[in-house]
Amino acid sequence: MDCVRWEEDDEWKGTLEKNHSLVTYNDFAQEVIARYKFRGDYVLSKAFAALIQKKLRSIPFDMIVPIPLSAERQYERGFNQSEALILACGREPHRLLTRTHTEKQSKKSRSDRIHFSQVFQIAERIPDQKILLIDDIYTTGSTLRHAAKQLIAAGANSVSSLTIARG
């Protein structure tokens, strides 16, 4: 229903073309992603690589862009989980976006996740590019849509996304 609500809002309609997710965010996926993301089990990026590579063959894109972390969050975790997924697939991430530091999404309510201020910035124009955003979890779609909005404003032709899980 979140996807439907976003598309009914004139401000956000058409911002994100489509999200592709590898798995449903069930208890098992939650535990594996928590180990990867919050407990620093970086090697799990390689476990996802084969699934991601297979999915990438069916998604048209020109550039693959990780959802960035703020400098504080990157320091805290030691790595950007979205960028690690791209690298594990043997692809080069295009670091087009930067992010302002905010409270962790996982600590926010559903309503707070949907209604937050723009936290992404983009420094360069990217005319006529099909962008594929990479992130770990699609919950409400807010993070991906806020990033997509900045990419579209910078000239991207379209923005879609690929996440490990959809919850």
- What the chain holds in terms of domains, given with CATH numbers, is 2-166 (3.40.50)
Exposed (0-12), middle (13-18) or buried (19+): which is 128, by Cβ within 10 Å? exposed
Q: What is the mean pLDDT of residues 122-139?
A: 94
Strand, helix or coil at 65?
strand
- The phi, psi pair for 131, rounded to 5°, reads -100, 140
Residue 104: pLDDT band by 50, 70, 90 thresholds? low
Confidence at residue 143, expressed as pLDDT on a 0 to 100 scale:
93
**Tokens at residue 67, please?**
């959802």
What pLDDT, on a 0 to 100 scale, did the predictor assign at position 151?
A: 97
- Which pLDDT value is given to residue 138? 94
Residue at 132: amino acid letter: L
What the block records as the tokens of 91 is 């692809």
1 confidence band (pLDDT: 50, 70, 90): confident
Give the model's confidence band at 156: pLDDT under 50 very low, under 70 low, under 90 confident, else very high: very high
Position 145 pLDDT exceeds 90? yes
pLDDT of residue 108: 57
What is the tens place of the pLDDT at every residue in 60-102? 999 999 999 999 999 999 999 999 999 999 999 999 999 987 6
Name the helix (H) or strand (E) containing 55. Answer: helix 44-56
Residue 134: helix, strand or coil by DSSP? strand
Residue 132 dihedral angles phi and psi, to the nearest 5° = -115, 115
Rounded-to-integer distance, Cα 163 and Cα 141, Å: 11
Q: Is 34:67 a contact under the CB 8 Å cutoff? A: no
User: Which of 156, 122, 123, 159 minimizes the C-alpha distance to 141?
Assistant: 159
**How far is the C-alpha of 35 from the C-alpha of 64, rounded, in Å?**
24
Between 98 and 123, the more confident residue is 98
Count of residues for the chain?
167
pLDDT at 132 over 90: yes
Give CA–CA dist 84/164, Å, rounded. Answer: 12
Structure tokens at 53: 């590579």
